Amino acid sequence: MHDIRAIRENPDAYAAALSRRPTVDGASEVAAILALDEKVRAAILKKEAAEQARNAKSKEIGKAKASKDEALAASLMAEVAAAKATIETAGAEEAEATKARDDLLARLPNVPHESVPKGADETGNKEVRRHGEPRKFNYAPKDHADIGEKLGMMDFEAAARMSGARFVVLRGQLARMERALAAFMLDVQTGENGYVEHATPLIVRDHAMFGTGQLPKFGEDLFFGVSGTEPIVRFVDDEREETSILAYMYSVLESLRNVEDEKPLSAEAILARMKRVDVVGYALPERVGDVSYIEEFTKRAVARLLTFAALTPTEAIKKFGEVSSRLVEENARRVQARISEGRWLIPTAEVSLTNIYREQIVDAASLPARMTAATPCFRSEAGSAGRDTKGMIRMHQFIKVELVSITKPEDSEAEHERMTKCAEGILERLELPYRTVLLCTGDMGFGAIKTYDLEVWLPSQNTYREISSCSNCGDFQARRMDAKFRRAPVGAEKAGKPEFVHTLNGSGLAVGRTMVAILENYQREDGKVDVPKALVPYMGGLEVIG
């Protein structure tokens, strides 16, 4: 979320900074936000002026009545009533403009840090460093999926039968390796790097997703669920029934326009025409035999159609369009209410770890706070059709060890470098070749001001592939979550005004992709796989898989 005061104070600089992202027209975005902000401020001034007038006139009413000047009192009461109406109108205008402005702000990505290179896509990324030399094979290296399937320990077909594409069943030693990798990563991050392990919810409400930036813009990338089937069934039935009633009403009004002259419709004419348009043809097919349902359907249609009495058929059709639009808006609000009954599956533990600080004010002495968790993650991969369809590179469900830091603003840059080193350390211990890349403005995530990607070498693809992203989000998420700190403890002589924290997140690492890298880099020509030395103790002493 962006600071509206910063945009007001320096709109040109803000627009220029936003425009470093190739998909953002900073000037038009800032202009639209400021136009709505001006409406908000104008409505506030209008409301405040009306409140002052109401209060002043209210005092004068008592004086007028005390002097028995009834005419003046009546005039003043009329002015008070007008002021109250203005207050109500201005309040509605303020709420509407505020919602529109804040929606624009919520959908606008973070401003890139000045050190981030400008670029259109991944071709504009800048390699920072490399570690390790890719292994040279005297045979064609196999793909991880082929290795796992030939070992009989990786089964994509069984997973597809129960869950569809982009799932896998791991067996035996590979199932143990998944568990071992998560334990190894957590031990390093907690025992040596100062992160505190957490066990957090995997299912969260929409405000948690909003806080870390997944909502409202990226809902299609997430998995959403409700408790039981009743809310879904109820919503679908309500939606179908509403559509059916509107279709029936329109047919009746169209029929009236065809047979009636352009004269005001009577209730009798409407009721007579309803008898000629069969309700059963519009009712839900599975309920046409339910007499009480048909009666209720007809009753609702009658009540609505009679509101068009005294209008001409053409006027009635026009009004129907307005009414149906309003009903659609009301239904959208009902949909949102239904959504609030549900929960989102986390795409990363960043969501649940960062939201621990939601609506909190902490002491500066408690920062930096470093947290980690190994959790299943769930992603719809809506924008990845046709990409990485084979193997474990891009899955709907996978395990990841997440790193999250909460810091003071002046410490976040150094913390970002530290976090990246903590993630790199896992790859170095596993002796996997990798490179660190600074993402450009066109490849960077929505909420980040700066991101490093770690890319591990995959022999079968003869290239480096992403295995971790470490991002500094500045105060972007903190503003969305209202997460703050005080520089001095509460009660101190100069406690100071609360400030927004900075938040950072990174993978330390993605367990599935780490397994992919191990299978490919440690493969043998006979199909077996060596276990990295650092992982042997976590595999119960096992040195070779297969």
Number of other CB atoms surrounding residue 192 within 10 Å: 10
Tokens describing residue 306: 């009679």
Give the whole-angstrom CA distance, residue 194 versus residue 454. Answer: 21
Q: What is the dihedral of CA 531, 536, 541, 542, to 10 degrees?
A: -20
How distant is the alpha carbon of residue 105 from its chain centre?
Answer: 14
Instruction: State residue 388's pLDDT score.
Output: 79
What rounded mean pLDDT belongs to the chain? 92
* 476-487 residue pLDDT tens: 999 999 999 999
- Confidence band, pLDDT 50/70/90 cuts, at residue 43: very high
Instruction: State residue 179's pLDDT score.
Output: 98
Dihedral sign, Cα of residue 538, residue 539, residue 544, residue 546: negative
Tokens 């045979």 belong to residue: 139
Percent of the chain with pLDDT over 70: 93
DSSP class of residue 135 equals P
Between residues 545 and 390, the one the model is more confident about: 545
| Whether pLDDT at 149 is above 90 | yes
Three-state SS at 14: helix
Report the pLDDT averaged over residues 127-134.
97
pTM over 0.95: no
Between residues 64 and 172, the one the model is more confident about: 172
| Whether pLDDT at 409 is above 80 | yes
| Whether pLDDT at 491 is above 70 | no
Q: Structural domains in the chain?
A: 4-107 (1.10.287.40), 124-132+196-214+345-381+393-484+498-545 (3.30.930.10), 230-340 (no CATH)
User: Between β-strands 397-407 and 463-472, what pairing exists: parallel, antiparallel or unpaired?
Assistant: unpaired
| Whether pLDDT at 47 is above 70 | yes
Between residues 480 and 328, the one the model is more confident about: 480
- Confidence band, pLDDT 50/70/90 cuts, at residue 2: very high
Report the pLDDT averaged over residues 239-260.
85
- Confidence band, pLDDT 50/70/90 cuts, at residue 382: low
| Whether pLDDT at 233 is above 70 | no
Tokens 């193997």 belong to residue: 391
Between residues 204 and 240, the one the model is more confident about: 204
Give the whole-angstrom CA distance, residue 501 versus residue 534. Answer: 36
- Confidence band, pLDDT 50/70/90 cuts, at residue 324: confident
Instruction: State residue 331's pLDDT score.
Output: 67
Percent of the chain with pLDDT over 90: 71
Between residues 452 and 380, the one the model is more confident about: 452
Q: What is the dihedral of CA 233, 237, 239, 240, to 10 degrees?
A: 140
How distant is the alpha carbon of residue 421 from its chain centre?
Answer: 28
| Whether pLDDT at 335 is above 80 | no
Give the whole-angstrom CA distance, residue 183 versus residue 176. Answer: 11
- Confidence band, pLDDT 50/70/90 cuts, at residue 237: low
Give the whole-angstrom CA distance, residue 359 versus residue 168. Answer: 38
Instruction: State residue 323's pLDDT score.
Output: 81
DSSP labels, 287-316:
GTT-HHHHHHHHHHHHHHHGGGTTS-HHHH
* 260-288 residue pLDDT tens: 678 899 999 999 999 999 888 888 888 88
DSSP class of residue 487 equals S
